[in-house]
Amino acid sequence: MEANKTLVTEFVLTGLTEHPGLQVPLFLVFLVTYLTTMVGNLGLVALIWKDHRLHSPMYLFLGSLAFADACSSSSVTPKMLMNFLSKNHLISLAECITQFYTFASSANTECLLLVAMAYDRYVAICNPLLYPVVMSNIFCIQLLGVSYIIGFLHPMMHVGFLLRLTFCKSNVIHYFYCEILQLFKISCTDPIVNMFLIFIFSVFIQSFTFMTIIISYIRVLFAILKKKSEKGRSKAFSTCSAHLLSVSLFYGTLFFMYVRPGSGPADDQDKMYSLFYTIIIPLLNPFIYSLRNKEVIGALRRIINK
């Protein structure tokens, strides 16, 4: 009995698969994915910083979103890549909590940045004459500041409550990173308070930000349909469709993970949802926002020509 009460300070991450023959191929796939994600997101940040024509609110938010995506991917992927090639899949409790906090901060910040981007598009399309006044540099910096402050403060509460838990039964996390719901499953302390807080704050933050984005884009849609210029409608639709695609992918997987009722899907499905919002979405976002954006393509061409 005494041995069973020994507190766990290290965990074992089982990863995506325990099949030995898949470790190297998966390592190569996710290494290419991670490098592409970093080049795409940090390249977009550098491009926006470098080209003065992109120094506008929309691209300021887009650059911040790209930076949040880079942080989100970097919080999970490097450790997963190491585990593909290592027989030792250990991660300390401190590393585990740090990984959770880094990812949660990035994800929360991204939710709020998507709201700021939706509001920016709403003002630009519905009130174009007032746009320079409403979306001033000071106001944009304030929106960014609030997004990052709330994004970084909110997970601190969950980390604080996570520290009240003890782990003495098992140290095996059947996941590819320290996902907080998986930690609850192996806790010796009843995590009901933690789970309640996760559910309440996830419902509030995700539902509030998602509904704000949807309402903004519904009003934008009506404003676009009233435009007489075919070219103006086409440009507005192009910009907003990219934003909505990113929002749908991001929130869809988050809702399934943290706001779904009851038992939810099996662990393998959980892994797929997590894989999507931790690795796939940060990979896709710079391409979703950039490939159909003439200003970004033009800035990239100018940089290449120089």
Cα–Cα distance, 233 to 242 (Å, whole number): 14
Where is 90: in which H helix or E strand? strand 90-92
Cα–Cα distance, 272 to 280 (Å, whole number): 10
The values of phi and psi at residue 245, to 5°, are -65, -45
* pLDDT for res 263: 44
Report which of 262, 109, 107 is spatially closest to residue 177, judged by C-alpha positions: 107
Cα–Cα distance, 267 to 65 (Å, whole number): 29
Cα 130 to Cα 120, 125, 133, 144, 213, distances in angstroms: 12, 10, 5, 20, 20
* pLDDT for res 231: 66
Cα 174 to Cα 118, 180, 245, 304, distances in angstroms: 37, 12, 31, 45
Mind listing the pLDDT tens digit of every residue in the chain (306 residues)? 344 456 778 899 988 887 878 889 999 999 999 999 999 999 999 999 988 888 888 899 999 999 999 999 999 999 999 999 888 889 999 999 999 999 999 999 999 999 999 999 899 888 888 999 999 989 999 999 999 999 999 999 999 999 888 888 788 888 899 988 889 888 888 999 999 998 888 888 888 898 999 898 888 888 877 766 666 666 667 667 777 877 888 888 887 777 664 444 446 677 888 888 899 999 998 888 887 677 888 878 888 877
Our CA dihedral for 18, 267, 41, 82, rounded to 10 degrees, sits at -20
* pLDDT for res 70: 95
* pLDDT for res 303: 80
Report which of 23, 75, 262 is spatially closest to residue 179, judged by C-alpha positions: 75
* pLDDT for res 229: 66
What's the pLDDT tens digit per position in 215-228? 988 888 888 777 66
* pLDDT for res 265: 43
Which residue carries 């598009």 as its tokens? 121
Task: Indicate left, alpha or beta for 236 from its phi (over 0: left) and psi (-120 to 50: alpha).
Answer: alpha
The structure's pTM equals 0.88
Q: Are 213 and 116 in contact (CB under 8 A)?
A: no
Q: Are 182 and 162 in contact (CB under 8 A)?
A: no
Cα–Cα distance, 219 to 231 (Å, whole number): 19
How many domains does the chain divide into? 1
Q: Rounded mean pLDDT of the chain?
A: 85
The values of phi and psi at residue 14, to 5°, are -75, -20
What's the pLDDT tens digit per position in 117-144? 999 989 988 888 899 999 998 999 999 9
What CATH number is associated with residue 91? 1.20.1070.10
* pLDDT for res 4: 47
* pLDDT for res 160: 92
* Cα of 5 vs its chain's centroid, Å: 37
Domain that holds residue 31: 3-305
